[in-house]
Structure 1
Amino acid sequence: LEGIEAIEQTLGNVSQIAVFDTAFHSKMPKKAAIYPIPYEWFEKGIRRYGFHGTSHKYCAQKTAKILGKSLESLRIITCHLGNGASLAAVRNGISINTTMGFTPLEGLMMGTRSGSIDPAILIYLMREYGVDAEKLNTILNKESGLKGISGKSGDMRYITTAMQKGDEPAQLAFDIYIHQLCCCIGKMLPSLSGIDVLVFTAGIGEHSAIVREKTCENFEFLGLKIDREKNIKPAMDTDISTSDSKVRVLVVHTEEDWAIACECWQKMNQA
């Protein structure tokens, strides 16, 4: 709101449009959006909202264009893997499930965020060690994930370089990351009743060949196969799967700024 007020003071009555990163997930079915906690909490706004919506929507639409198919015909899992990371299950062009929830802390292991953990751990730490809410918030958001396990960095580039040099904590951090990622992809499959396309995007998704390789290896039982050479140095917005792969695997450059600009343009034309 401070930004809106500042623009009003500086530029007067110029049009302002708010584009919410959660909007793409707003049509998730209740069974995916509501936590198994007292329903009264849901009535207070505690539910799964999801994030990275602008990126997931853009990448799903771009995927359909790359493959020359209608978006509505595709069952897509988009993997937005950056310092923050989330997945979305997209069917009929709509997000029907995602990994982030009430906050961006839920879901995948990330650069410095823990992702989903047993909530009783927090109660245990508060009771047994006197850790307060503020400290827990800092640990889970800024001192966990790749950084917490490696003890040094939340940057996947550092992790992959270090593990190639025999750094065991870095190797463990990488292994947990891939394990968590694959488990979460697996959890998306029933929502879609299968999968037609797996999409990698954002900093890690677009630039880490080893993350894509190790992830895809775990889904070869689905008939998913990637071309090793294409995966090493993929062109922007390209299909890196083999011709006989039953699941297409794409690397898509996310353009959230462009997607937001398009949303604003559409709203302005509707005014």
Structure 2
Amino acid sequence: MCSACAIRRGRSVDTTMGLTPLEGLVMGTRSGDLDPGLILHLLEHMGYSPEETDELLNHQSGLLGLSGLSNDMRTLEESARTGNRQAELAIEVFCFRLAKSVAALTVSCAPLDALVFSGGIGENSVLVRKRTLAWLEPLGFVLDKQKNEMHGEDSDGRISPKNAPDVRVIPTDEEVILARGAVSLIAGESP
């Protein structure tokens, strides 16, 4: 699952997800944002049942549907390097939609202190960070290519130059966050 989130003073104030994980970013097998009319078209004109539509949008779309190959970014990057145009398309759509969502989320947390890449793709894909930040150049984002190649490991996670907006790669540790939340809940503390 992929999502982007605007955080102000340590609290989430906006996210790309909606009622279900279908809203928002292109994901491994989920479509991300789409025109609601598409669902009506699938049902009324293409003969899809509600169950088939659900299967298509949740399990056969996203990176897998765009590439026709895989839902794994690593596989797509390798295939794109060897000339697979569908893999290249899937990566480009993913990065463009991510950049578009980041740009929209900046409204919810202005002024923007930092842009953080995290999670599987965000932490590990040099290419996704590079292409996403290229789309965000009009907002002043700049990438330090060498730091990006090292995933920011040599600079406290920072992959942007000091004179540009702060962009970082920060590893995810969901288990620790969940454990802290559980301890707080058991102790009767409010989140």
What TM-score results when the alignment is normalised by the length of structure 2? 0.92
The residue number in structure 2 matching 1:255 is 173
Query: For residues 171 and 267 of structure 1, do their structure 2 counterparts lie closer, same or farther at Cα, with a shift above 3 Å needed?
Result: same
**TM superposition outliers: structure 1 runs of 4+ over 4 Å:** none
Q: How far apart in 1 are the matches of 2:149 and 2:179?
A: 32
Q: Provide Cα deviations, 1:31-68, integer angstroms capped at 9, x if missing partner.
A: xxxxxxxxxxxxxxxxxxxxxxxxxxxxxxxxxxxxxx
Whether 2:139 is the aligned partner of 1:244: answer: no
Q: For residue 222 of structure 1, report the CA deviation from its aligned partner.
A: 2.7
| Residue matched to 2:83 | 166
Residue 157 of structure 1 deviates from its aligned partner by: 0.4
Instruction: Could you tell me which runs of 5 or more consecutive residues in structure 2 were left unpaired when the two chains were aligned.
Output: none
Aligned residue number for residue 44 of structure 1: none
1: distance between equivalents of 2:111 and 2:61?
Answer: 32
Q: Which residue of 2 aligns with 1:217?
A: 134
Report which stretch shifted further, 105-114 or 216-225: 216-225
Corresponding residue SS for 2:4 = strand
Matched-pair identity in %: 37
- Structure 1, unmatched stretches of 5+, are 1-83
1:262 shift after superposition: 1.0
User: Structure 2 CA distance, aligned partners of 1:101 and 1:160?
Assistant: 28
> What is the TM-score of this pair, normalised by structure 1?
0.66
Give the match's secondary structure for 2:115: strand
DSSP 3-state at the match of 2:168: strand
C-alpha separation between the residues in 2 aligned to 1:135 and 1:101? Answer: 21
Q: Using the alignment, how far apart are the partners of 1:118 and 1:256 within structure 2?
A: 32
CA RMSD of aligned residues (A): 1.5
Query: What corresponds to 2:182 in structure 1?
Result: 264
Number of aligned pairs?
Answer: 187
State the distance in 2 between where 1:258 and 1:94 align.
17
SS of equivalent to 1:85? coil
Q: Which has the larger radius of gyration?
A: 1
CA deviation profile, 1:114-164 (whole Å, cap 9, x unmatched): 001001111111111221111111110110011001111010001111111
Q: Is the contact between residue 27 and residue 62 of structure 2 (CA under 8 Å) also seen in structure 1?
A: yes
Q: Which residue in 1 is equivalent to 2:53?
A: 136
The correspondence of residues 59-208 of structure 1 with structure 2, limited to 5 A, is 84-208=1-125
Alpha-carbon distance in structure 2 between the residues aligned to 1:100 and 1:113: 12
Output one character per residue of 1:152-178: Cα deviation in whole Å (capped at 9) or x when no partner. Answer: 101000111111111111111111111
